[in-house]
DNA sequence: AATGCGGGGTT
DNA sequence: AACCCAGCATT
């Protein structure tokens, strides 16, 4: 089981493997705690390959913690566009400002101080302390739970918070003296490159010989994890409101609320409708849309002409959106209606869009350009 | 303990 | 289509 000899075998072989096979990643070229921190936030629930270009752009624009702290908030969001989980961006900047104010701009080395920073939970706390400062703290993410479940043949449900806590004790006990930074990254690297979710490459695994899960033929059943619920469909009708006169060539867009889903990003004005049947009744959708916008002081006439359709998949829900052509009854309302703005292709890139609206608007502007 | 929060790759 | 990813905050 979790015998001491198996533990030392595990650490030694894993480290030897890692020092030979480690990927050359941008954030591994630095020990700057700020770089480590930013990379760890970006890597939350996000693949390495996805993060790399974002990390490089981000560091180009915000080279130091102070640059990030002093930047306009919308600038930070724009650099996060397309990466998802946008509260990460706001929490990161908020925490950077706190570090400037309370710690003179230096990322703290004290566990209690690091873990209090916004957006920094148990995993990220351990990652920062171990990778940047080589402190013997565990950094248990999905990779690590999978690797440990298999190696020690642990059948606890990794969806339970209590399991993560016990894995943290185990992971900490495995850290070889003075090698926390490499060991923690090695564990995750093994999970990402060898001990993968569906078909682990046991024959090339540096610790496969003593992997209890594999010895018991259970490597494909582990880790045990309760299933997530299926995404719920949500039906929406959006308006593509075309400007005329001084606003010709522009469309009306609005900014989402401060918090919640896709917070502070920009979108086409739209409403949610009851169900798929209501969604199919264009006449009704157009009417509801006009009424809802009028509530915001935006008077429009929506047609029953569908000019675009798209689907946006989230973890917990699926948006299905029909876009109706619409026109403004008066264009002056922009000043009076907070959050609404006329934009053309020239301003498009000045705003942060969720993928679904980026796609719809790009298609629209391209189509207009051709005519 | 359960839920909200993106987007994309793998199988 | 299901699963999962260098998770965290809120309730």
Q: pLDDT of A184-228, one tens digit each?
A: 999 999 999 999 999 999 999 999 999 999 999 999 999 999 878
- Chain B bases having any atom below 7 Å from a protein CB: 1, 3-11
Name the nt closest to A226 by C-alpha to C1': C3
Q: Distance (Å, rounded) from C-alpha A128 to C-alpha A134?
A: 9
**A17-55 pLDDT, tens per residue?**
999 999 999 999 999 999 999 999 999 999 999 999 999
CA A360/CA A330 separation, integer angstroms = 24
> Encoding tokens for residue A315?
């973890």
Q: Catalytic annotation on A40?
A: yes
Closest protein residue to C5 using CA and C1' atoms?
Answer: A45
- Strand C interface, protein residues by Cβ within 7 Å: A 25, 28, 39-40, 43-48, 85, 87, 91, 118-125, 127, 141-143, 146, 185, 188-189, 191-192, 197, 225, 227-228, 230, 315
- Report whether CATH 1.10.340.30 matches the domain A4-215: yes
Q: Which whole number is the average pLDDT over A289-295?
A: 94
Domain boundaries, chain A: 4-215, 232-370
Measure, in angstroms, how far nucleotide C9 C1' is from residue A184 CA.
25
Average pLDDT over residues A126-154: 97
Mean pLDDT of chain A, nearest integer: 94
Q: What b/e string do you get for A317-344 counting C-beta neighbours within 10 Å, with b at 16 or more?
A: eebbbbbbbbbbeebebbeebeebbbbe
How does DSSP assign A97-114, residue by residue? HHHHHHHTTPPP--HHHH
Instruction: With cut-offs at 50, 70 and 90, classify the pLDDT of residue A76.
Output: very high
**Which pLDDT value is given to residue A371?**
77
Using the structure, give the distance in angstroms from the CA atom of A47 to the C1' atom of C6, rounded to a whole number: 8
- CATH fold label, A232-370: Nucleoside Triphosphate Pyrophosphohydrolase (3.90.79)
- Residue A53 CA to nucleotide B1 C1', Å? 36
pLDDT over 90 for what percent of chain A?
Answer: 88
CA atoms within 13 A of residue A347's CA, in its CB half-sphere: 11
Over residues A120-133, mean pLDDT: 97
- Catalytic entry in A4, A21, A40, A98: A40
* A4-215 and A232-370: identical CATH topology: no
| Model confidence band, residue A336 (pLDDT cutoffs 50, 70, 90) | low
Rounded to 5°, the CA angle A229-A231-A236 comes to 155
């Amino acid at each position: 089981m979790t015998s001491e000899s198996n533990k030392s075998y595990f650490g030694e072989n894993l480290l030897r493997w890692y020092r030979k096979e480690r990927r050359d990643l941008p954030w591994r070229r630095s020990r700057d705690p700020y770089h480590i921190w930013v990379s760890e936030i970006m890597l939350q629930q996000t693949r390495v390959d996805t993060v790399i270009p974002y990390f490089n752009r981000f560091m180009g624009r915000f080279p130091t913690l102070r640059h990030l702290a002093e930047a306009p908030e919308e600038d930070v969001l724009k650099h996060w566009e397309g990466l998802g989980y946008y509260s990460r961006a706001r929490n990161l900047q908020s925490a950077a400002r706190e570090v400037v104010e309370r710690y003179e701009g230096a990322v703290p080395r004290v566990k209690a101080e690091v873990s209090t920073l916004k957006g920094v939970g148990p995993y990220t706390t351990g990652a920062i302390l171990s990778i940047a400062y080589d402190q013997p703290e565990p950094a248990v993410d999905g990779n690590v739970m999978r690797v440990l479940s298999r190696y020690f043949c642990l059948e606890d449900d990794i969806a339970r918070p209590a399991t993560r806590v016990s894995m943290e004790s185990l992971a900490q006990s495995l850290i070889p003296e003075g090698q926390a930074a490499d060991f923690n990254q090695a564990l995750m690297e093994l999970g990402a490159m060898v001990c993968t979710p569906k078909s682990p490459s046991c024959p090339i695994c540096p610790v496969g010989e003593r992997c209890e899960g594999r010895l018991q033929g259970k490597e494909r059943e582990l880790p045990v994890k309760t299933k997530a619920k299926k995404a719920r469909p949500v039906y929406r009708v959006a308006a593509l409101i075309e400007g005329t006169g001084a606003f010709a060539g522009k469309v009306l867009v609005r900014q989402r609320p401060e918090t919640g889903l896709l917070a502070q990003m920009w979108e086409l004005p739209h409403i949610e409708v009851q169900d798929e049947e209501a969604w199919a009744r264009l006449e009704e959708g157009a009417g509801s849309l006009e009424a809802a916008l009028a509530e915001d002081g935006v008077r429009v006439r929506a047609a029953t002409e569908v000019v675009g359709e798209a689907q946006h998949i989230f973890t917990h829900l699926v948006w299905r959106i029909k876009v109706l052509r619409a026109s403004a009854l008066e264009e002056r309302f922009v000043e009076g209606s907070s959050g609404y703005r006329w934009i053309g292709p020239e301003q498009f890139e000045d705003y942060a869009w969720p993928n679904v609206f980026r796609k719809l608007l790009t298609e629209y502007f391209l189509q207009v350009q051709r005519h």
